Structure 1
């Protein structure tokens, strides 16, 4: 006798309630540990309150990810929370020209103020995080604040000084002067952030350094080797230990004379 096949017992489906993703929380300048390096430096009282009222959102980027591209619409200034970035422009022959490196506490994006679009691309050299500062909102807040107006003027002036410093570096007579100036600049910036001024990790490649300094990759490598032979520093790939800071600064200053 043939028996009917019994259907398996199926448990009733249980639907869990949908959990909406938590939106990113805005952060306040007044509570930031980088405020003495970043936008609020020198501000207090109602001026800090104005910045806190804007409640900047943070954005995380992965190593190699672009924050913005050349030609993108300019909407934000970006304050580096952590990590290192490089800015690049496209040369007429299609090559990438590095125009700057940015560390925690520094602002990026000022290149977009003039034309309303970014004149460069900015790319993370490691996993990084930025605060996005809406530029139109910053302008509205500064309209009633002399302190904020002075901060914005300082930022513009700092960009001009940086450009002048780069022109002086590129106008130097030899590769050793250019690389010495670059390393001394990195050393000063690391010290300002509470890190060692004599031992640090370069996040940028030798090719990036060469592009920034107007040197070939091979020249950058040879110059690092020359500094090691002069006992000015020790290099292990991207790790640099300056063993004779005074000697490195003295050599740089003597070549400028």
Structure 2
């Protein structure tokens, strides 16, 4: 890692470099897990396909020859798996033409490098910690991303809630329609069973995960943070003091809102009796 001269701008550049190193290692760990899973997974699937080919040929056609279509199907599956295995083995062990960045490197070694990189980043940040006022100003500048994340999660849970509700509505109406159409219920009995199952599952998911309540809480928190951020920018109540006092009050208020949001999420994860005890 390159060394920089002392100074705010150089310190910022160094912290950015550490952050990039950490993000790069996280992505490399993900890629390496996929590579390892593919390398060993295709080999296992190849052995399983060949074993199944032999088993099926000798178990189902003991006294006769298996049809050509069966042999062709197993041959194509085995050929594809063998080709994929050969390509991955070449990428892992070939010295000159490997396209894998971390070949012959274990995920454990990469995770150790990640821990060391994060430790270096923490130590560097600790050695060059800016003043409280600067940290509070930086905290305010990061909040738009937090607000966007809260709104995104709120829309996600709102879509889940709407989907499950429409599923319950349409399935319930379909049960009535199918019952009226088929009298006696055959051959609509299977349709009625499926629709009843869908209604039960959708109702259970809505009641257990509470997507509507989660969406409301997330949206409420995002709106409150945005309201305080706007009040701080405009210098209106309750942020009518000097800059240092306003930033301190703003940071404390936002952290309180985020703590309340986490508390509401924990309450939603508890059973109904547990929620009453928490409250």
Q: TM-score normalized by structure 2?
A: 0.20
> Higher strand fraction: Structure 1 or Structure 2?
1
> Higher helix fraction: Structure 1 or Structure 2?
2
Structure of greater Rg: 2
Q: TM-score normalized by structure 1?
A: 0.21
